[in-house]
A and B are shown apart, each in its own frame.
Chain A
Amino acid sequence: ITDVLTAVALYLAIQDFNKVVFKKQKLLIELDKYAPDVAELIRTPMEMHYIPLKVALFYLLNPYTVMSCVAKSTCAINNTVIAFFILATIKGSAFLSAVFLALATYQSLYPLTLFAPALLYLLQRQFIPIKLKSKSFWLYTMQYAALYLCSLVVIICLSFFLLNSWDFIPSVYGFILSVPDLTPNIGLFWYFFAEMFEHFSLFFVCVFQINVFFYTIPLAIKLKEHPVFFMFVQIAIISIFKSYPTVGDIALYMAFLPVWSHLYRFLRNIFILSCVLIVCSLLFPVLWHLWIYAGSANSNFYYAITLTFNIGQILLVSDYFYAFLRREYYLTHGLHLTRQDGTEAMLVLK
C-alpha cells in the first residue's frame, strides 16, 4: 500500500514539476537567454507527457522496490514520507513540506539535508532571489525553518508522551549516528568498523557521518537554480552514504531517472554503469551464500561487491550531474563551441 502511495505521490509531483520546467523554459526562450542553435535541446511537451507515468512505473516495477516490499521493510514507509514531502514542496505548500520533512527526519536522521533543496525550491517559487543581504530571503528562510523545527519538536514530544521517557532518542538517533550494530549490509560502514580498533572508532564514525552531510553546501551553491535536481542528487547521496542503507532507498532515487531522460545523450558511461549495477546486484546473493552457507569465501568477497556497487551508484549520480551541467552550458552557450578565432573547441571540466 505504501509503495502505491509513493508511486502516486511521485506521479503528481513530477506532473507539476514538468509544468514548472516548461514554463521556465518558455520564459527563458522569450528572454532570449538561450543561444540560437540549441533547438534540439529544448524539451517539448510531447516528450514530457509520459514522464510522470514512467516515474510511477519505474518505482513500482523496480526489482529493488519489490524486494523491499517482500522483506516487509520499513523503508517503504520512509520512501512514502519523502515522496509526500517532495509533492508538498513542488506544490509550494511550505507548511506541509515542513511537516513531512520533520516526519522523515524523525524516522531517520538524514533527510535533514533535504531542508536545503526544499528551501531553495520554495524561494524560487515565491520569486525571492537568493541574496545574502535580502531581507525577504532571510524572512522566508526563518519562516520555513521555524515551521520545520516546530513540527519536529511536536513529533518528538508526542513520542515522549507515548513512551513516557526520553529513551527513544539514544536508541533511534544514537543508533543511526554511532553505528553499533555491524551486521553486513549493502553499505560501506560495517566492514570498516569491524576491522577498526576501538580507539579510533569514534573518530571514524564522525568522519563517515560528516561525509553524508558534507555535500549539501557545495551542491547548494552550484545547483541553486535547479533545486529539484539538487534534491535528486541529495537523496542519492543519502542512500549511498547512510549508515544502514537498503535497496529501498536506491529504488526511490532511481524512480527519478526518467525525469532526466533528456540528458541521455550526454551520459557517458550509462552502459557500463548499468551493467556494473546489475552484475553487482546479482552477485550479492551469490557471494553471501558462499560466505555464510558454503563457508568457502569470507567477508572480503562480499565487501568487494558492496564497494563495487556503491562505486557504480556514485558514478551514476556523478554522470547525471555532469550531463546536467553540460546541458545547461550548451543551452546558454550554444551547441557548437568555437574559440575566439573560430576553430572548434572542446569542453573540459576542471
Chain B
Amino acid sequence: MGARGGPGWICGQPQARGARGASPPVPVGTLSSPCPPSSSPAPPAPTMGLLSDPHCRRALSRLVLRLNTPLCALSYVAGLGWFLALAFQPLAPRTYMSENAMGSTMVEEQFLFGERALSYGREFAGHKKKAGGMPVAWLEKTMWALGLEVHRQPFSRTLPFPDETRERYMVKGTNVYGILRAPRAASTESLVLSVPCSEGPHNHQAVGLMLALASYFRGQIYWAKDIIFLVNEHDLLGMEAWLEAYHDVNVTEVRSSGTLGRAGAIQAAVSLELSSDVVTSFDVAVEGLNGQLPNLDLLNLFHAFCQKNGLLCTIQGKLQRSDWDSLPAYAHSLQTLLLMVLAQASGRPRGDHGLFLRYRIEAITLRGINSFRQYKYDMTTVGKTLEGMFRKLNNLLERLHQSYFFYLLPSLSRFVSIGVYMPAFGFLILVLVLKALDLWMKLSKCEAGSAERLWDGDHAAGEEPRPGLLALVPPVLICHAAGLALYFLPVLGQRVATQHFPVSESEAVVLTVIAIYVAGMALPHNTHRVLAGGGSDRGWMTLKLLALLYLALQLGCLALLNFSLGFLLAATMVPAAAAVQPTGPKVLLSALLVLATPAVTLLLGIFLQRELVEAPVAAAEGWQLFLAAVAEGLLQHHLYGSLLFPFLALCAYPCWLLLWNVLFWK
C-alpha cells in the first residue's frame, strides 16, 4: 500500500481490526483520524483523542450522545446514594490518635478545686451585674492575685449595619487575658484556654473554672508551654480582635490599642462554655469559619479524656448509640452527619474556636450541657478532663498535622475521610461534564452540518444566523452585573432605604438583598432585545455549555475549600442545570430551577436543620429565621471575612441567572 507523501504517514484499512488500528493504545505517538465519508467533510471527533482506535472513539462518542440522560440520572443517584451511605459503619472507621506525642502517656489528674471554681463563678456573676458588662478591674485583680501576667486589650469595631443583637453601629469592648509563664521553658509556644463573656447570665461557671484551673496550673512545674487564659467580650468580635492583635495582622477592620504581652506561637486552643453548676454531658463543636475544621487529633484527645473520666460526650447535641447494625442507629448517624454538613456549609463558626483555625491554630469549643439526665458531673470532673487535655497538649513537639484536616463526623468516634466522601461529589460533577460533552458534540455536528450546506452551492449564509461567541457576552455581563449589585448595593444603600421605608437598618439590608435577587429573575425578558442573532438554537446551547462548565468549575473549587457547601449546592443545582432548556414544559422546568436557586436552598436548609435538632418550626418562624440568616451572613462577611455571602452573590447567583436566561431563551 502506498506510503506516499512525507515520512510517517501510512494509509490503512478502516475495517481491519487486526491491523495497526487495534494495537494497544500507545499514548502520544499513535494518533489516528477517522476517514471522511464520501461526500461531506470530516467532522472532528472531539472526545478521547488519545485512544489509537477510531472505533473505540466513535463508540464512546455514540455512547455519550445516546445514553446521555440515563447516564446523567445514574450518576446523580450514585452521588446521592454514596453520600447517604457515608453514615454506614464500613465507610466510617473508628477514630484513632495519629500524633505520637499525644498517644503513649496517660496522665494522672489531680485537680481538686471544683468548689473554688464555683465560688469564683459566683463572684464573677456579681461583679458582672454590677459593672453592666465585663468586670475588667475585678478580673485583672483576681488574675494578678493568682500569679498570672495580666493584660487588657480594648477594641472597637464599626458594624456595617446594626443588627438585632447589637443595636448600634459601634461596638466597644475589652479583652482580658493572663499568661501563665512556663517555669523552665523559653516562652516560644503556648496554649490558650478561652472563655467568652457574653451578654446575659451565661458562662459564669466557665470563668470560675478557668480561674480555678489557672490557680491549679500555677502550682505545677511540668509546663513546657505558656498558657494564656483569655476572657473575650462580645464573643466572636472580641476573639477576632484578640487574634489579630496577637498576630499583628489586619484582616478585618478592628481597632485595638494597648501594648500586648505575647507568649509565642499558639499551638492549640480550647474554648469553654459552661452555664450551670453541674453538667450532664459535654458537647463539642468543631466547625470553624468557612467550614474549616481542626485537626481530628484534637477531637480524639477530647474523646479519650471524656472516656477516661467517665464524662458523657456528645456531638451536634446527639449521644452516640452503641448498636451499629440496626436501622435506627443508621438514621441517628445520618442525622448527626447531616447536621454537621449543614453547619459546615453555612460557614459560620459554631463557637469562638472557629476564628483560631484561620491562623493555623487547632481549636475546639466545649460546651457543658445540663439536661434531664440522671447522673450529673461536678466541676471537679470537668476540671480534671480539661487538666488532662492540657497536659497532653503540653507534650506536643510540633503542630498537630498528622491526622486528618478534612473529615465528616457521623458520630464522635467515627469519621469519614476526604478520600471516601469526595467520590460522591465527583459523581455529581460528572453529570455536568457529561451534559457539557453532549452539548459540545451536538454543537460540532450542527457546525459541520451547516458548513456542508455552505459549501454545497451558493455562498449565501445558512438558514439560521450563527451568533458566534460575541452574542454570548451580553447575558454573561448582565448576570455578573446583577451579582455585583447583589454584593455591593444592600450595605451601601441602607441609608437610602431607611429614609424611604419605615424599617430598621438590618431589615432594610435583608429586604434589599431579596429585592435584587428577585429582580434579577426578571432580566431575561430584556436581554434578548440586545442580542443580534438571539433566537437560534446554537445560541442557547452555547450559553448552556458555558453555564454548565462555569458551574462545574465553581463547585469544584468550592468543594476543595468547603466540601459541605459544595456538595449541598451541587446536589440542588445539578439536576436543574442539566435539565434546563427553552423547549419543553416551561412551567415545570422553571419551578425546578426556582427550587434549585441558592436562596431556596438556604431556606430549605434552615427547615431541615430545625427538623434534625428535633425542634421543628412553622413556616412563618422559618421565614423569620431565613431573614435572620441572610442578615447574619452579610454581617459575618463584613466582620470576619466569611466567604459564604460573596460566593453566593458573585459566583453562584450569576451562574443560576445564566441558566434562567437559557430557560427563557425564546
Tell yes or no: A287 within 8 A of B by CB. yes
B36 adjacent to A336 (CB under 8 Å): yes
CB nearest to B15 among chain A residues: A343
A335 adjacent to B41 (CB under 8 Å): yes
Most A CB contacts (10 A, CB to CB) among B8, B29, B45 go to: B8
CB distance from B43 to the nearest CB of A (A): 8
**With A296-B405, A348-B20: A287-B47 Cβ-Cβ less than 8 Å:** no
CB distance from B98 to the nearest CB of A (A): 14
CB distance from B443 to the nearest CB of A (A): 10
**With A265-B44, A267-B44, A347-B32: A319-B12 Cβ-Cβ less than 8 Å:** no
Tell yes or no: A21 within 8 A of B by CB. no
A346 adjacent to B30 (CB under 8 Å): no
CB nearest to A275 among chain B residues: B549
CB distance from B399 to the nearest CB of A (A): 8
The interface stretch among A92-100, A107-115, A175-183, A276-284 is A276-284
Within 8 Å by CB of B561, from A269, A290, A344, lies A290
- Write out, one digit per residue, whether chain B residues 2-13 have a CB within 8 A of any chain A CB (1) or not (0): 101110111111
Q: CB-CB < 8 A to A290: which residues of B? A: 560-561
Within 8 Å by CB of B35, from A40, A294, A344, lies A344
Tell yes or no: B42 within 8 A of A by CB. yes
B560 adjacent to A339 (CB under 8 Å): no
Tell yes or no: B406 within 8 A of A by CB. yes
- Write out, one digit per residue, whether chain B residues 25-60 have a CB within 8 A of any chain A CB (1) or not (0): 000111111111010011111110110001000000
A295 adjacent to B360 (CB under 8 Å): yes
For residues 241 through 291 of chain A, which have their beta carbon under 8 Å from a beta carbon of chain B? 264-272, 275, 278-279, 282-283, 286-287, 289-290
- A328 CA to B35 CA in the complex, in Å? 16
Tell yes or no: B21 within 8 A of A by CB. yes
Tell yes or no: A211 within 8 A of B by CB. no
- A90 CA to B151 CA in the complex, in Å? 72
Tell yes or no: A337 within 8 A of B by CB. yes
Tell yes or no: B14 within 8 A of A by CB. yes
For residues 277 through 292 of chain B, which have their beta carbon under 8 Å from a beta carbon of chain A? 292
CB nearest to B52 among chain A residues: A348
Within 8 Å by CB of B12, from A275, A286, A346, lies A346
B30 adjacent to A329 (CB under 8 Å): no
A346 adjacent to B31 (CB under 8 Å): no
**With A265-B42, A337-B35, A346-B54: A271-B440 Cβ-Cβ less than 8 Å:** yes
Tell yes or no: B222 within 8 A of A by CB. no
- A272 CA to B444 CA in the complex, in Å? 14
Main secondary structure of the interface of A (DSSP, over half): helix
For residues 276 through 335 of chain A, which have their beta carbon under 8 Å from a beta carbon of chain B? 278-279, 282-283, 286-287, 289-290, 294-296, 318-319, 322, 325-326, 328-329, 332-333, 335
Most B CB contacts (10 A, CB to CB) among A272, A318, A343, A348 go to: A348
Tell yes or no: B1 within 8 A of A by CB. yes
- A289 CA to B358 CA in the complex, in Å? 11
Q: CB-CB < 8 A to A318: which residues of B? A: 28
A349 adjacent to B12 (CB under 8 Å): no
Q: CB-CB < 8 A to B360: which residues of A? A: 294-295
B35 adjacent to A333 (CB under 8 Å): no
B30 adjacent to A347 (CB under 8 Å): no
CB nearest to B357 among chain A residues: A294
Q: CB-CB < 8 A to A269: which residues of B? A: 46, 49-50
For residues 17 through 71 of chain A, which have their beta carbon under 8 Å from a beta carbon of chain B? 39-40
Most B CB contacts (10 A, CB to CB) among A271, A286, A343 go to: A271
CB distance from A284 to the nearest CB of B (A): 10
- A332 CA to B9 CA in the complex, in Å? 13
A336 adjacent to B12 (CB under 8 Å): no
Tell yes or no: A350 within 8 A of B by CB. yes
- A164 CA to B553 CA in the complex, in Å? 53
Q: CB-CB < 8 A to B41: which residues of A? A: 40, 265, 335
Tell yes or no: B556 within 8 A of A by CB. yes
Q: CB-CB < 8 A to A139: which residues of B? A: none
CB distance from B288 to the nearest CB of A (A): 11
Q: CB-CB < 8 A to A279: which residues of B? A: 553, 556
Binding site for B on A (CB under 8 A): 39-40, 264-272, 275, 278-279, 282-283, 286-287, 289-290, 294-296, 318-319, 322, 325-326, 328-329, 332-333, 335-337, 339-340, 343-350
> 3 closest Cβ contacts across the A-B interface?
A296-B405, A268-B49, A269-B49
**Extra inter-chain contacts (17) besides given A348-B30, A348-B32, CB under 8 Å:** A268-B33, A271-B437, A271-B440, A279-B556, A282-B553, A283-B557, A289-B561, A319-B49, A336-B38, A337-B11, A340-B1, A345-B35, A346-B54, A347-B11, A348-B9, A348-B20, A350-B9
Show 14 residue pairs from A and B whose CB-CB distance is below 8 angstroms, ordered by the A residue.
A267-B44, A270-B46, A271-B440, A272-B47, A278-B549, A282-B553, A282-B557, A286-B560, A295-B360, A339-B13, A346-B32, A346-B33, A347-B32, A348-B9
